Homo-oligomer: A and B are copies of this chain.
């Protein structure tokens, strides 16, 4: 006789969030990244949820998970729900006495492009705190707590996005190294430096600027563009420079661009602002200073 079982408890909220992320991003690993946990954590959350609801949400395949039909049907309601939560949380955060502007940027962009502009911003925004977070992938501004994101990526065209500059690349090196170079062919005798995530920059530039020139890539790879740039300054070799990132070094004379050929990558330095009313006065102010409209 089923009388008085303990009050039926709702599902764990964090599991719902994990599920929402997993179904939206299409995988546990991606969801894990967004939530800053290991995939195992996501796996357990989903399992807990499946146990609670007594319904399978994902089909486990060897190459990843595939949402079940039913799981997919939950995507929209949960997305709506968490957008709603996000909005309420923004409202909550807007109450802080001292507002904080959260900026997300690619590590290299943060250090090489944003950093020189920060002092100006900070003085203009007295009374606000400023927080800069380096991220490998652009955050979902609707869901996460960033106000502004600055990335070097293919523009998505979503609302709130402003293109600051098209991305153009060209080899850069120290003046000392540049002295040895007269034509692109001389590159073959030099060490080529690579950024780990932009490893095909060299191929891309060569294809446009010096077709036919081939070289086995044997130079060092750096996980941080900034490190590669430092090494370049120390005459360790030649690096493909992204205009927005090497501008300061070129202006100071630490680096030079030995060849004139500038090649567009199709990417762009884009700044995106979250579309929310509160605090946006300060956010718009920052945007204007960064060169947005």
Closest B-chain residue to A122, C-beta based?
B2
**Interface check A115, CB cutoff 8 A:** yes
A residues 187-228 with Cβ under 8 Å of B?
none
**Interface check A111, CB cutoff 8 A:** yes
> What are 23 A-B pairs with beta-carbon distances under 8 A?
A2-B129, A2-B131, A2-B132, A3-B132, A8-B102, A11-B89, A13-B14, A13-B85, A16-B88, A16-B89, A49-B92, A54-B97, A55-B95, A70-B95, A74-B88, A74-B92, A77-B84, A77-B88, A77-B91, A80-B84, A81-B81, A81-B85, A81-B87
**Interface check A9, CB cutoff 8 A:** yes
In contact, B7 and A36 (Cβ under 8 angstroms): yes
**Interface check A262, CB cutoff 8 A:** no
**Interface check A146, CB cutoff 8 A:** yes
Q: For this complex, into which size category does the number of interface residues on chain A fall? A: 35 or more
In contact, B95 and A88 (Cβ under 8 angstroms): no
A residues lining the B interface (CB < 8 Å):
1-11, 13-14, 16-17, 36, 49, 53-55, 70, 73-74, 77-78, 80-82, 84-85, 87-89, 91-93, 95-98, 102, 107, 110-111, 115, 118, 129-135, 144-146
Chain B nearest Cβ from A17, distance in angstroms:
6
Cβ–Cβ < 8 Å partners of A73 in chain B = 91
Quick one: which of B7, B55, B145 contacts A133, CB cutoff 8 A?
A: B7
Quick one: which of B36, B78, B96, B132 contacts A53, CB cutoff 8 A?
A: B96
In contact, B53 and A92 (Cβ under 8 angstroms): yes
Separation of A115 and B5 alpha carbons in the complex (Å): 14
Chain B nearest Cβ from A253, distance in angstroms:
24
Quick one: which of B6, B14, B16, B49 contacts A85, CB cutoff 8 A?
A: B16
Separation of A14 and B129 alpha carbons in the complex (Å): 27
Separation of A84 and B79 alpha carbons in the complex (Å): 10
Quick one: which of B14, B77, B87, B111 contacts A77, CB cutoff 8 A?
A: B87
In contact, B88 and A85 (Cβ under 8 angstroms): no
Cβ–Cβ < 8 Å partners of A115 in chain B = 3
In contact, B3 and A110 (Cβ under 8 angstroms): yes
Separation of A85 and B11 alpha carbons in the complex (Å): 11
10 smallest CB-CB distances across A and B, nearest first, come from: A55-B95, A77-B88, A81-B84, A13-B13, A84-B84, A54-B96, A4-B134, A81-B88, A81-B85, A70-B95
